[in-house]
């Protein structure tokens, strides 16, 4: 089928919730996607952070061939060999104690929110008090599109069509410790935030804000929830972005609950909630569940993901390639429409003084895939295998596009 035929079919039968790019994907190789006409596109978005190892990875293909000979689905009423091994891996890397598997990031967030309220309820039962239920979130946050996750998400365009949302969610100004202290009252059961906001424009939480949130949560008997769906699992050059503030061995500094997804299943839907034992004890059998979460194919793929990152020393590469990429982006600061460069590892952004949608479109035409968030922020989540040569190629084209856009603004 040609692109025009695919578009016609979708326009007739598919619910139109996505603004698609003018590209019909045929196959992928390394850091590149290739369309039906054999045009190559350097994918600097990696499926919005999912395809962290790029495309057509030989080790992944070999693993899939073997695993496809086994059952693709086993209900969670039965055991299979990969779920426990993956839970162990996530606990060892994070510093936490238990894992629960989901199908997606938004479902992982739903689990976090439910577990936090269950913890507060059990705590109240133990001391004869009233259960806390308020959950603090941050301005600029994006946690997902199901009702609980959406209630924790900032932004009218996401929220307004679906209101009223779940009650009990309040928003704190981003990185504002004074506002945090004002709103962190005794009826708060949890605070949730992305360690680095993704959809919010690649904005990192400050160490001061993280430390104060952790301190207040401990003092008030509340939980700290880290949403690491986009910034976790190696994206910043560490296994989890919160490790910048809280090493795995520092139990008192770690989050109580962590949401994870994106590259976890190597493109096969998989998310996870990782939590401390103290929180896990508040959840009884039958109080939460999933049909597909933690299936054998997804868990086997995830174990291969961690194996490849270890064997190929990709965390080290992410740190070096990320530092190089950011330094090259900083060179663009001499262009008047470039306002700021942000990010860590291979989670990077260029904030502009103009709308970025048309710039993204022009870059796509020139063979580069990225996206624009917050209207003016070019977001880059390249695969972990990206090379300096590929980065240089992109920077050269990006400079040309941004300089032309600057000239048009002047005119």
389 and 269 assigned to the same domain: no
> The tokens 């936090």 sit on which residue?
116
Residue 235 belongs to domain spanning: 70-311
CATH of the domain at 8: 3.90.1150.10
* Element at 88 (helix H, strand E): helix 81-94
pLDDT tens by residue, 155-191:
999 999 999 999 999 999 999 999 999 999 999 999 9
Contact criterion met (CB below 8 Å) for 180 and 172:
yes
| C-alpha span between 303 and 319 (Å, rounded) | 22
| C-alpha span between 221 and 120 (Å, rounded) | 8
246 and 162 assigned to the same domain: yes
The pLDDT mean for the chain works out to: 96
pTM of the model: 0.96
Instruction: Specify the pLDDT at position 125.
Output: 81
86 and 235 assigned to the same domain: yes
CATH of the domain at 110: 3.40.640.10
Q: Is residue 64 part of a domain?
A: no
Instruction: Specify the pLDDT at position 249.
Output: 86
Q: What percentage of residues in the chain have a pLDDT greater than 90?
A: 94
Q: How many CA atoms lie within 13 A of 177 on its CB side?
A: 12
Q: Is residue 159 part of a domain?
A: yes
Instruction: Specify the pLDDT at position 283.
Output: 94
Q: Count structural domains, the chain.
A: 2
47 and 101 assigned to the same domain: no
Instruction: Specify the pLDDT at position 127.
Output: 75
263 and 365 assigned to the same domain: no
Encoded tokens for 312: 């190929």
339 and 393 assigned to the same domain: yes
Q: Is residue 61 part of a domain?
A: no
* Element at 35 (helix H, strand E): strand 32-35
Phi and psi torsions of 29, nearest 5°: -150, 120
Q: Which of 311, 334, 363 is the last residue of a domain?
A: 311
294 and 340 assigned to the same domain: no
């Amino acid at each position: 089928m040609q692109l025009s035929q695919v578009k016609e079919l979708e326009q007739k039968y598919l619910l139109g919730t996505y603004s698609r790019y003018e590209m019909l994907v045929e196959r992928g190789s390394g850091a590149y996607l290739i369309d039906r006409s054999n045009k190559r596109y350097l994918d600097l978005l990696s499926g919005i952070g999912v395809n962290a190892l790029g495309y057509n990875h030989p080790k992944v293909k070999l693993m899939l061939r073997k695993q496809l000979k086994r059952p693709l689905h086993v209900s969670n009423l039965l055991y299979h060999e990969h779920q426990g091994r993956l839970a162990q891996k996530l606990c060892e890397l994070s510093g936490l104690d238990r894992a629960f598997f989901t199908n997606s990031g938004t479902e992982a967030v739903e689990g976090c929110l439910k577990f936090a309220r269950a913890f507060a309820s059990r705590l109240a039962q133990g001391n004869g008090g009233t259960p806390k239920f308020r959950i603090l979130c941050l301005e600029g946050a994006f946690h997902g599109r199901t009702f609980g996750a959406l209630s924790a998400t900032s932004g009218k365009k996401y929220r307004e069509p679906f209101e009223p949302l779940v009650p009990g969610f309040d928003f704190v100004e981003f990185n504002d410790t004074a506002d945090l202290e004002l709103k962190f009252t005794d009826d708060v059961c949890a605070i949730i935030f992305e360690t680095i906001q993704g959809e919010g424009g690649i904005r990192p939480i400050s160490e001061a804000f993280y430390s104060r949130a952790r301190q207040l949560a401990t003092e008030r008997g509340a939980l700290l929830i880290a949403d690491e769906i986009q910034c976790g699992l190696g994206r910043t050059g560490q296994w989890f972005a919160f490790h910048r503030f809280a090493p795995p061995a520092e139990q008192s500094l770690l989050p109580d609950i962590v949401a994870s997804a994106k590259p976890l299943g190597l493109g096969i839907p998989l998310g996870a909630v990782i939590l401390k034992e103290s929180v896990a004890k508040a959840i009884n059998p039958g109080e939460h569940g999933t049909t597909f979460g933690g299936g054998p194919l997804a868990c086997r793929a995830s174990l291969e993901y961690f194996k490849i990152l270890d064997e190929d020393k990709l965390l080290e590469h992410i740190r070096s390639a990320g530092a190089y990429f950011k330094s090259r982006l900083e060179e663009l600061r001499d262009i008047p429409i470039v306002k700021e460069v942000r990010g860590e590892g291979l989670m990077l952004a260029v904030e502009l003084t103009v709308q970025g949608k048309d710039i993204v479109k022009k870059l796509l035409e020139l063979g580069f895939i990225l996206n624009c968030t917050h209207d003016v922020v070019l977001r880059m989540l390249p695969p972990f295998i990206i090379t300096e040569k590929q980065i240089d190629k992109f920077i050269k084209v990006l400079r040309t596009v941004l300089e032309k856009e600057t000239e048009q603004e002047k005119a």
